[in-house]
Amino acid sequence: MSHKYGKTPEAMSRLTPDQYHVTQQAGTEPAFNNEYWDNHEAGIYVDVVSGQPLFSSVDKYDSGTGWPSFTRPIVPDAIVSKSDVSYGMVRTEARSTGADSHLGHIFGDGPTADGGQRYCMNSAALRFIPVAELDAQGYGQFRHLFDTTGTARTEEHAS
């Protein structure tokens, strides 16, 4: 099943002020005071604007930063990176390819065994879909990432 993910007026109208600030104005939410930084449930994270699948809990880990962190996107071409020179520093910004939503930043200090990348995301840019709801919400193609109990197949990736 093919999907075209993008930014629509309807989707934009559903964003909270925080979601709009983060995704459309490249804002950042507070560390340790956001919805998913400490979420340990199995499932996937999608772009809050378009619903594009971005990350899996299989690749989520506790980076100690206070934001949800992942070692890789769920689909390699779901994320595009751009140079960000705001705040007097050079960083790599992560944006969704479907809706061009600002998601967060990519750093090279992630787990070495998993490629060394840390996708440090804002919870406000994401919507979490638990394993039990994947089929009902149209994301059943990602069920293979989890075993029959809904937990991550590879414990070293589970958070």
Which domains does the chain possess?
9-140 (2.170.150.20)
CA 29-60-6 angle, to 5 degrees, is 65
- Give the pLDDT score at 159: 39
The catalytic residue positions are: 120
pTM of the predicted structure, to 2 decimals:
0.89
Summary mean pLDDT of the chain: 91
Residue found under tokens 């809904």: 150
Per residue in 7-63, pLDDT (tens digit) is 999 999 999 999 999 999 999 999 999 999 999 999 999 999 999 999 999 999 999
| pLDDT at res. 90 | 84
The average pLDDT across 110-120 equals 96
Q: Which residue has the higher pLDDT, 88 or 13?
A: 13
CA dist 82 and 129 (Å) reads 27
- Average the pLDDT over 111-124 and give the result: 97
Give the pLDDT of residue 155.
Answer: 40
SS3 state at 102 = strand
Rg (CA), the chain: 15
Per-residue pLDDT at 152 exceeds 90: no
